[in-house]
Structure 1
Amino acid sequence: MIWRLRVQRLPNLNSRGPVRQRPANPPSIGESQPCNIAGLARYGLHTYNRRRKASNSPAMDPNEGTQAPDGPDVKKMNDVRDVCPSSSHLPPSAPTPDPQPAFRSALAPSSDVWLSPTSLRQPPSSFRHLSRSTHTRRMGYLCREPHVASTIDKLITSRHTMAMTVIRLRRLAKLGSSTRSPKPEGESSADAETSNSATSEGKAPKAPANPTPSSTPKPAASNPFSQLGVKSESGASSPAASNITESNKRFASDRATAPAPAKKANVEESLDDFSDRTLSHIFRITVDPERVVDTHGHKLTFLPEASQELQENGSPLKLTTSILDSALLEAVTAIPADKPLLGYLLPSFKRITRTNIVKETAEKREALEEAKRLCVSNALFALTIPDLFGRSRPESLVTYLLKGHEQDDGVCLDFLREAVKRFPEDEQFPAAFATAMHTLSIKLSALSMEDDYKPYISALMSYTKFPPLLSALAQHPNFMTAQKLGSHVEKETILGPFFRISPLQPEVTMTYFPNPRGLDRTRAAPSQDALRAILRVHQDELFTIANAFIRADTDTRSRVLDWFASAINGNHKRRALQVDPKEVSSDGFMMNLTVVLDRFCSPFMDTTFSKVDRIEVEYFRRSPRVDIKEETKLNADQSASDAFYATQSQGNSNFISEVFFLTLAAHHYGSEATNSKLKGLERDIKWYEKHLAAMEAERIKVQNQPQQLAMFELTLKRHTTVLEKAIAMKFAIEGIFLDEKMQELSLRFMRYVAVWLLRLASQSSYTPDKDLQLPLPAQAPEAFACLPEYALQDVVDNFKFVYRYLPQIMPSAVGSEMIALCIAFLRSSEYIKNPYLKSSLVTLLFSGTWPFMHFKKGVLGDQLYGSKFANDNLLHALMKFYIEAESTGVNTQFYDKFNIRYEIFQVIKCVWGNDIYKQQLTRESKVNRQFFVQFVNLLLNDATYVLDEALTKFPKIHTLQQELEFGNTLSTQDREKKQEELSTLESQAGSYMQLANETLAMMKLFTSALTSAFTMPEIVQRLASMLNYNLETLAGPKMGQLKVNNPTKYHFQPRVLLSDFIDIYLNLGSSQAFIDAVASDGRSYKPEVFDKASYILSKRSMKEAGELEQLDTLKAKFLESKQIADQAELDLGDIPAEFEDPIMGDLMKDPVILPSKHIVDRGTIVQHLLSDPKDPFTRQPMTVDDAIPHTELKEKIQKWREEKIAAAKARAAGGDAMDTTEG
């Protein structure tokens, strides 16, 4: 194998004749003969040793360059062979020509010299350590010829110092050497041993096919190698190389007229003939000046130097593997500098791989393997050592990686496979391929899905077939970035631009959704389907790429996990209230990242949760990749969290844990952040549409002012563009989120997270097929408390979205763990610090009960209805959080509680048909009396407030509607002001009325099932007062003020509302305590109001006859109780101050002593503590248990009451008797 360096030409030393002179007009390539520099060096050493030997001086070892004992006489033909391989055909017995005349001959100008690495593999060690001047002195001294020393000095100084030259040559020899070179047919073993360029000594070669006169070679006017690598037209003639001599031309002309010899039938093609035919076709070159085209009609380029070498060696003019090395280098080196070498080598490699060698002999297959090896070697050196080919810059693979595998000059998998085999030989090889992919990545970062991005993906996909390539990429400096911002990870790392490609890129969304203002969901659906299909393919490719990195080797896996972590950790600001797009990654990038990580989790997410125990809770205490330091924790402050994680845990986390926590964080900063953006877009779109409508209304003001109108139109267009982009982005995000396959995969992951959280919180081996014991332990495990909030929040948000928009993907097995999750943390709400997170659990249950298709109770309703776990724990959990919502500790708690309680009502209504829940309510009223009283009291508070707020809005709405309808004299400003006020009132009335309806419906359910629980002393009076007040509003003198236009717009149905109130009266009418409480309400009880209500219900047929009869009976009982109460008040007269309640002013029935030493009635303080758990006099915290019964005072009050009643009865009896007597 022969390599070339740009050095001073040395003449050929040919023993068969004088030194051949250069032509008068040398061709561009030159006609220098191969010369072995190392051989020249050894020749000088031998000459020196002979002379030293004559003077008894120590000899020099030609292999080591150091002093050595005298050896055998080396004054043999090897002297010449070492200097010039072209003379290696001389027989060993031939006399040795004197080399000195050759050295003294005129040296040719600077050109290319052939070097044989077989003789350069072990250069003299002294060369490796000497400077240029030292080399020059040593060689000049050795050869005793100044002219030779000057020549060697020129050899050394041509480009680099000799030391670097020899080091490079050693490296090239190592890389370029083959384990076995096929021998041409007929070559003897002796010849093979004595010749570096083995020639055939066997059969005479066949005469080449005679060219036609039209294809007779002519001198080329330009460099014949400028066309190498350019595909020729089939059958086209090509001029021969320019350096064909005139005799050769005549020889070619004579052969052109000679008939072609008849082809022998059934004669096996010799190895030389096969090699010549095949290699010429593959590399488009020839050493025969008479050949113009190959057997397929492709133009061939003549190689003069290789041809002349064969002629001088007396070898047939055939291109065989013995000369292929030098021939290929001659061809490649002569390619013009403005043409890429790979443009020639890669198509040649393709032709090698396409050559059919199935039926060929082993030697022929070896010949092709050698051709493949040499082709790849030259390609690799073109990428890493350009100066071997006289070039200043290395070749780049970028252009060829972007071409398809099927294209002739595209990088195919076979080429990559061969190249990868050479990676252990030189570290620059893998670096070249990694650099090429980095360049591709940079180019891709400027593209979008709208551009031609597929070739870039295909190029990286090709790399995934070869782990060493991926390892090289992972070790590239730009695989990671030192910058911590997510935007840098997306654009500056190698993998970032590949994950960046997405239909969520702004320029792409407008392509999918042109004119978005005119689209609705139905018309946008086809574009969303197309968008999902394209993205799904791209995400499949991204997963294939990432999975290949993971499976390459341990170091590469670690690097790619680091890359995922850097992308996640650099995007914490995506969850900020105000997001700067320049600092974070795009939505498309993060969505792709999330989906790929979801797919990594898929193998261990089985339906039996058999591998959930592989997820290590100690992950965050083992130098985790995921950064949670600044994240809000589930139930720990920053100091507690820091102290917990300061204690490191031993060992390394397994791959499942790594991927699990990376995926969990990716959902938080990726898909869930994008979902939040979608909600923000919906708000922005409404604002922009309103704003544009207002601008359109202002057009008339500038319609007659051209300059202002032009500015107005420009502003309007700019705002319209912003709106259209927002709408297009909204449709695109919705299209991605409505991808059922993506959501199914995400759902599976979130199920695993839910089960893992429950196992951690309960300190059990819980799985959906096992029971979960509630309540949870009183103290939450520290490992659970210090988890980031998003561990639970992502689960809830993901399931809420699926329940609401994609319930059809919920398999029947899904749901039990989510019910367990919601109920467990609602019942043990102290495990979670964030009130919003706790309320989201209610929202999740509520979303799961929405009717959908044939699921009348939603996707969770049936399980909530029939699950034993839900039957035992759901109602208590909901009631507990209903109470807890009263005081959440946030500034919006007053309004938040109504939303929470509305959702609680919906869940209870869904399951109320199961009598088990009614039994649970009864049990709560008896077992947890104080708990139940608190629940009912808050229910009454809500009903009172929301009804009052709603019903008081209607008179104002009615007034404003009248003013706007008939107020023709209103100014524009006043009308706009009143219209805005009306809109606000309507919105408030609708919200309050909707909640009022649900609250009243809940009271109907509870009172129908549990009368006694609502007539307890602590409750009954407040309940009666609330009912009386609202009944008077609906059927009293002011009922006409509730009349508004289109009342259903506000969810207001007065007659239905009235009927519901009467139902509650009827439900509780069997209780005397309730009857007395209604009748004793001196503020709102009026018998005529009940009469009016009966009339309305009867007239509108709102009640059955039986119900109206029950109402009449109940009215009579109210009236009777009222009369008795009035009489009792007269009988008691003035109440002593010590018996009077200081808060309510009534007679105390069960006095208690407060911590402040004040005495009040038990019923009064109980009602107070239900809404304000503090002593009403000192404002210190207290509970009902802190109230001490005042038994002595209670006995005095009872005795005083009995005496007063007895005295009243005596007076009444005496008065009646007296009247009778007088009568």
Structure 2
Amino acid sequence: MEVLSQLGRGENPLQDLAPCAACNQTTPDNLDSPGVSSSSPAPLSPLLSPVATLPHHPMSVVPLSSDSQQDIHTRSLMYLMDCYARVAMEERNHPKRSSIPPLSDVLAEIRAQCVQYASLSLQGVLIDEELPRTSPLLGPVLNQSLPRGFLPELVARTHANHELFNKVFSPVLQGLFLTMQTSSIVGNGHRQPIQALSDLVEIRCGPSGNVRPICRLLTHQSNFLPDVVTQAVGRELAKTSFLGPFLSVSVFAEDEAKVADKFFSGNPVADKSLNQTLQQELENTRILLHKVFHDILVCNSAREATLSYLAALLRNNEKRAQIQVDERSLAGDGFMLNVLSIMQFLAVKVKLDKVDVFYPFHPSSLVDIKNDTRLKFTSQEAAAWLDDLNRSLIHKWKEPKFPTHCWFLTLHCHHLALLPACHKYQRRLRALRDLQKLVDEMQATEAQWKEMHFAARNKELLKQWKQQIKKLNRSKACADTGLLNEALLRRSLQFYTSVAEFLLGLLVQLPPGVTPPSLPLPSDAPAIFSALPEWYVEDIAEFLLFVLQFTPGVVADCTEDSLITWLLVVVCSPQCIKNPYMVAKIIEVLFVINPGIQSRTEQLHARVMAHPISEMHLPSCLMKFYTG
């Protein structure tokens, strides 16, 4: 306490002490995170502690004030962490003596006192100076330089008092939020804040170890799901919500212009070599983000708020599915694909028999389909059927469980994240082709106009078009990395396979996974199938057509029999879907699978042709469909 008092007066009683040999022997055992190597050189701190001699990784943390107040609070915390680390050093040096009383009791008490004083210091109680804007704990958390066990013990000793816990850890969370806002995948500045957040939400305490205090605190932050104040609600939430910056790690040029300038020169051969590295970095980031969301969702007190946050992201970005859209008002492709990847990871273990098929119509549903075109019903028929369902004495609404919420949110996330990104990619390619055609035509006729009075204008147009082509090529290279990611597309295909099984089960009124249904099906489709949105079927076809065009190996290698069965049943049961163009799109998928169109899918085509439905019904159904 005397040392802390002197530090509070601006003195440093330890500055003249020489470091002992043991203090310089820093090992990973001192740390809360094993990710820091003890072999890297680092300057000694003024406290000459083993904690301070850990290597420092440069980090674009929110700028710290350089006044004495910041130094005082930081020095106090570093001194307490130093004392905490020396306990571990004593236990390593004298393992037998330190494991039995009285020394074991003394060491445990020292640890407890260090943590208690640290909590007081972080509240600003020990020092009569105003706390700095940035928590002194933020730097050690980011740099993973905390003594092992210090952070979990600090959480365990403060979480019961919510006000105290909020004072200690809310500044740390907000510091991570502000740090992440200035971070980018360029320079790998995104890694430390996401890893730090992952470490924090992972901390558990309580008698059975099932209490996650940081998760509860995170969802109670004022900016966890803030009220929107602009018309650009999708973009605003991506920027201002607490988890928004963490989800905004992107390689798309529209989201992060520095990516195109840093990594892509416009040379397709050179750019392709960087794709795999960037895709792996993005995949690692998404896996870590999934871990963060998983830890939050397993916390009972944080689950509902997190599901509401995910639903709000989808609801406020639903215009992404429109043909004409103002992209400036919505979240970008990188943000939405990160959300999609997290949802895919969460949904991978969901069993279809645990999913409530009535969820899209449930009064408590987190997804909204009331304005969507239905598979068979008109909007009036769908409303009448739902009214009958609500008045029915037989049907009872079940309280939605997490698997149901998760699965349908994932389905709608594909509609708002993946498919719009695919459409945008195709529009970019068309724009590139059109511009290149203009350049080729202009250059081919140069001999005719180079002596004319408008030659200068044509040369200026050529220059502009070539610059646009160069810019679009860089943008395409970024999109190749972000969208044509086989890991992402495989997960999407796996999920769409489950969607096909879900739809097939509703259409034939059989549980998923049974033998292929007997055809033909009745002329009247089940009401619950008829009332579903049309895009539930259309998105499967559009996704398959996109992947068959750009990464056919994913479909060729990963298509399951249940998806083939669904495609064939739809083609052979056109009476169940009122829009004939929807059936025609499914037929187009079967056409593109033909090896004459896509050589990579020869084995898949053979599987389709060998399917019992193909042998018995497909030829006659195709003839009937096209001849009316």
Which of the five TM-score ranges fits, normalised by the shorter chain? 0.7 to 0.9
Aligned twin of 1:976: none
Counterpart of 2:12, as a letter, is Q
User: What are the Cα deviations for residues 427-482 of structure 1, in whole angstroms up to 9, with x where unaligned?
Assistant: 23235423432342234234321142222112211112122101110121211132
Q: How far apart in 1 are the matches of 2:125 and 2:113?
A: 18
Please give the secondary structure, in 1, of the residue aligned with 2:595.
Answer: coil
Decide whether aligned partners of structure 1 residues 656 and 224 sit closer, same or farther in structure 2, where only a CA change above 3 A counts.
closer
Equivalent in 404, 427, 435 of residue 688 of structure 1: 435
1:421 aligns with 2:165: no
Decide whether aligned partners of structure 1 residues 413 and 783 sit closer, same or farther in structure 2, where only a CA change above 3 A counts.
farther
Equivalent in 307, 315, 340 of residue 594 of structure 1: 340
Q: Contact between 1:762 and 1:777, CA under 8 Å: does it hold in 2?
A: no
Please give the secondary structure, in 2, of the residue aligned with 1:577.
Answer: coil
Q: How far apart in 1 are the matches of 2:609 and 2:504?
A: 22
Please give the secondary structure, in 1, of the residue aligned with 2:194.
Answer: helix
Please give the secondary structure, in 2, of the residue aligned with 1:349.
Answer: helix
User: What are the Cα deviations for residues 588-612 of structure 1, in whole angstroms up to 9, with x where unaligned?
Assistant: 01111111111112223xxxxxx32
Q: Contact between 1:352 and 1:372, CA under 8 Å: does it hold in 2?
A: yes
Q: CA deviation at 1:499?
A: 0.9
Counterpart of 1:753, as a letter, is V
Q: How far apart in 2 are the matches of 1:592 and 1:700?
A: 51
* 1:654-693 correspondence to structure 2 within 5 Å: 654-692=401-439
* 1:931-970 correspondence to structure 2 within 5 Å: none
Counterpart of 1:355, as a letter, is M
Q: Which has the higher contact order (CA 8 A, sep 6+)?
A: 2
Q: How far apart in 2 are the matches of 1:298 and 1:843?
A: 68
Please give the secondary structure, in 2, of the residue aligned with 1:543.
Answer: helix
1:651 aligns with 2:420: no
1:628 aligns with 2:343: no
Aligned twin of 1:562: 308
5+ residue gaps in structure 2? 22-29, 31-43, 49-66, 204-211, 391-395
Aligned twin of 1:847: 592
Q: CA deviation at 1:395?
A: 6.1
Q: How far apart in 2 are the matches of 1:750 and 1:391?
A: 58
Q: CA deviation at 1:854?
A: 8.2
Q: Contact between 1:470 and 1:556, CA under 8 Å: does it hold in 2?
A: yes
Please give the secondary structure, in 2, of the residue aligned with 1:479.
Answer: coil
Please give the secondary structure, in 2, of the residue aligned with 1:633.
Answer: coil
Equivalent in 2, 7, 12 of residue 227 of structure 1: 12
1:616 aligns with 2:356: yes
1:383 aligns with 2:94: no
Decide whether aligned partners of structure 1 residues 472 and 699 sit closer, same or farther in structure 2, where only a CA change above 3 A counts.
farther
1:733 aligns with 2:479: yes
Q: How far apart in 2 are the matches of 1:454 and 1:546?
A: 16
Aligned twin of 1:363: 102
- Number of corresponding residues: 559
1:536 aligns with 2:321: no
Q: CA deviation at 1:412?
A: 6.4
Q: Contact between 2:595 and 2:602, CA under 8 Å: does it hold in 1?
A: yes
Q: Contact between 1:634 and 1:789, CA under 8 Å: does it hold in 2?
A: yes
Q: CA deviation at 1:387?
A: 5.5
Q: Contact between 2:367 and 2:408, CA under 8 Å: does it hold in 1?
A: yes
Q: Contact between 1:513 and 1:728, CA under 8 Å: does it hold in 2?
A: no
Decide whether aligned partners of structure 1 residues 677 and 838 sit closer, same or farther in structure 2, where only a CA change above 3 A counts.
same
Q: CA deviation at 1:877?
A: 1.8
Decide whether aligned partners of structure 1 residues 693 and 338 sit closer, same or farther in structure 2, where only a CA change above 3 A counts.
same
Counterpart of 1:418, as a letter, is L
Q: CA deviation at 1:485?
A: 2.1
Decide whether aligned partners of structure 1 residues 373 and 506 sit closer, same or farther in structure 2, where only a CA change above 3 A counts.
same
Aligned twin of 1:751: 497
Q: How far apart in 2 are the matches of 1:422 and 1:813?
A: 49
Q: How far apart in 1 are the matches of 2:196 and 2:156?
A: 15
Aligned twin of 1:278: none
Please give the secondary structure, in 1, of the residue aligned with 2:214.
Answer: helix
Aligned twin of 2:208: none
Q: Contact between 2:314 and 2:413, CA under 8 Å: does it hold in 1?
A: yes
Q: Contact between 2:76 and 2:121, CA under 8 Å: does it hold in 1?
A: no
Decide whether aligned partners of structure 1 residues 702 and 438 sit closer, same or farther in structure 2, where only a CA change above 3 A counts.
farther
Q: How far apart in 1 are the matches of 2:191 and 2:610?
A: 52
Q: CA deviation at 1:798?
A: 2.5
Aligned twin of 2:546: 801
Counterpart of 2:249, as a letter, is I
Aligned twin of 2:177: 441
Q: CA deviation at 1:689?
A: 2.9
Decide whether aligned partners of structure 1 residues 515 and 813 sit closer, same or farther in structure 2, where only a CA change above 3 A counts.
closer
* 1:1087-1106 correspondence to structure 2 within 5 Å: none
Q: CA deviation at 1:587?
A: 0.4
Aligned twin of 1:862: 606
Please give the secondary structure, in 2, of the residue aligned with 1:797.
Answer: helix
1:507 aligns with 2:248: no
Aligned twin of 1:638: 379
Q: Contact between 1:431 and 1:476, CA under 8 Å: does it hold in 2?
A: no
Q: CA deviation at 1:713?
A: 8.6
Please give the secondary structure, in 1, of the residue aligned with 2:306.
Answer: helix
Q: How far apart in 2 are the matches of 1:336 and 1:471?
A: 34
Q: CA deviation at 1:629?
A: 2.1
* 1:645-1044 correspondence to structure 2 within 5 Å: 645=386, 648=390, 649-692=396-439, 720-767=466-513, 769-810=514-555, 814-850=559-595, 858-884=602-628
1:475 aligns with 2:220: yes
Q: Contact between 1:740 and 1:809, CA under 8 Å: does it hold in 2?
A: yes
Q: CA deviation at 1:424?
A: 0.5
- Name whichever of 693-702 and 398-407 sits farther off: 693-702
Please give the secondary structure, in 1, of the residue aligned with 2:90.
Answer: coil
1:571 aligns with 2:291: no
Q: Contact between 1:512 and 1:527, CA under 8 Å: does it hold in 2?
A: no
Decide whether aligned partners of structure 1 residues 854 and 475 sit closer, same or farther in structure 2, where only a CA change above 3 A counts.
same
TM-score, normalised relative to structure 1: 0.42
User: What are the Cα deviations for residues 1060-1084 of structure 1, in whole angstroms up to 9, with x where unaligned?
Assistant: xxxxxxxxxxxxxxxxxxxxxxxxx
User: What are the Cα deviations for residues 611-654 of structure 1, in whole angstroms up to 9, with x where unaligned?
Assistant: 32222111123211112222222222333333444555522112
Q: Contact between 2:223 and 2:240, CA under 8 Å: does it hold in 1?
A: yes
Decide whether aligned partners of structure 1 residues 299 and 509 sit closer, same or farther in structure 2, where only a CA change above 3 A counts.
closer
Please give the secondary structure, in 1, of the residue aligned with 2:511.
Answer: coil
Q: How far apart in 1 are the matches of 2:373 and 2:471?
A: 34
Decide whether aligned partners of structure 1 residues 564 and 831 sit closer, same or farther in structure 2, where only a CA change above 3 A counts.
same
User: What are the Cα deviations for residues 1037-1074 of structure 1, in whole angstroms up to 9, with x where unaligned?
Assistant: xxxxxxxxxxxxxxxxxxxxxxxxxxxxxxxxxxxxxx
Q: How far apart in 1 are the matches of 2:197 and 2:412?
A: 26
Q: CA deviation at 1:760?
A: 0.2
Aligned twin of 1:1138: none
Counterpart of 1:630, as a letter, is N
RMSD (Å), alpha carbons: 3.8
User: What are the Cα deviations for residues 924-981 of structure 1, in whole angstroms up to 9, with x where unaligned?
Assistant: xxxxxxxxxxxxxxxxxxxxxxxxxxxxxxxxxxxxxxxxxxxxxxxxxxxxxxxxxx
Q: Contact between 1:401 and 1:459, CA under 8 Å: does it hold in 2?
A: no
Q: CA deviation at 1:694?
A: 6.7
User: What are the Cα deviations for residues 974-1020 of structure 1, in whole angstroms up to 9, with x where unaligned?
Assistant: xxxxxxxxxxxxxxxxxxxxxxxxxxxxxxxxxxxxxxxxxxxxxxx
User: What are the Cα deviations for residues 327-360 of structure 1, in whole angstroms up to 9, with x where unaligned?
Assistant: xxxxxxxx94342413431453155234232332
Decide whether aligned partners of structure 1 residues 808 and 389 sit closer, same or farther in structure 2, where only a CA change above 3 A counts.
same
Counterpart of 2:138, as a letter, is Y
Equivalent in 448, 457, 460 of residue 194 of structure 2: 457
Q: Contact between 2:73 and 2:131, CA under 8 Å: does it hold in 1?
A: no
Counterpart of 2:312, as a letter, is S
Please give the secondary structure, in 1, of the residue aligned with 2:186.
Answer: coil
User: What are the Cα deviations for residues 756-810 of structure 1, in whole angstroms up to 9, with x where unaligned?
Assistant: 101101112252x502122222212221122122211222223333444444345
Q: How far apart in 2 are the matches of 1:400 and 1:778?
A: 64
Q: CA deviation at 1:400?
A: 2.6
Counterpart of 1:669, as a letter, is L
Aligned twin of 2:64: none
Q: CA deviation at 1:371?
A: 2.9
Q: How far apart in 2 are the matches of 1:749 and 1:803?
A: 17
Counterpart of 1:826, as a letter, is V
Please give the secondary structure, in 2, of the residue aligned with 1:526.
Answer: helix
1:549 aligns with 2:283: no
